[in-house]
Structure 1
Amino acid sequence: APLLPLIPGLAETGAFAGELLIVPSLSDTGLLLVLALVCTLFPFALSLVALRHMSAFSAQLAVNLEPVYAIVLAIVLLGEQHELTPVFYAGVAIILLAVFVHPLINRPRRLRHPEVLGTSEAKGVVD
């Protein structure tokens, strides 16, 4: 709020020079819709479905692989492996080890009293 009076002056400076609001073209609008629906909404909906079948901790372990995917794609598609050190590979090994060992160590346990779960989670429980 204290910087609000400075906003009109930003339009004339460096990165903010020119139009501040540009209406996207039809092709840009289509691409933005694809990004919003296919790359954001659909994976989010799938993650919510997956959370019904796994713990939040297990889901977070899978999310931890995202930087590894990004780096592997950068290596394969862009040839960006010039600055990767042995420490980087050790970090990737630790992440992969945690992700793949967790299911072996943490076996799902059967609940003794499933009636304590919420109604949407208590599959097969009869009143």
Structure 2
Amino acid sequence: MRRQRTPVESVASIVLAFEVVVIGLGALAAWALGSVAMAPAFIAGASLVVLAAITVLTLRYPFGVWLGWAVQALVIVSGIWVHMMFAVGIVFIALWAYAVISAERAMRMRAEQESQFNDHVSGTEHHQ
């Protein structure tokens, strides 16, 4: 049976999937605008895409979320070569923060509800 993904894994991987497309377009823009030569633009873009893909695979572990924060920081840093990536990076770091924080909050709420349910069920069994 396949392991069920956590809400953090689900929403964070969606953010990263959209970000991979933007990273690729950012690499193309860096080359097209003449900010960076073709080879370095594609190597940097491909490296960041691979890092984002690895991050998706590691989201089940706490360091995967931290790796995601690093990807967000690198996207902002890419604004050095393509200035619009500063704005794009800020948008994606905001999406990342909202997704991760909201998903973690949902996981805590669900765990609390399950705990209360289990306490209720075990409490009613003692009264019988």
TM-score range, shorter chain: 0.3 to 0.5
User: What's the TM-score, normalizing by structure 2?
Assistant: 0.33
Q: Which has the larger radius of gyration?
A: 1
Report the structure, 1 or 2, having the larger helix content. Answer: 2
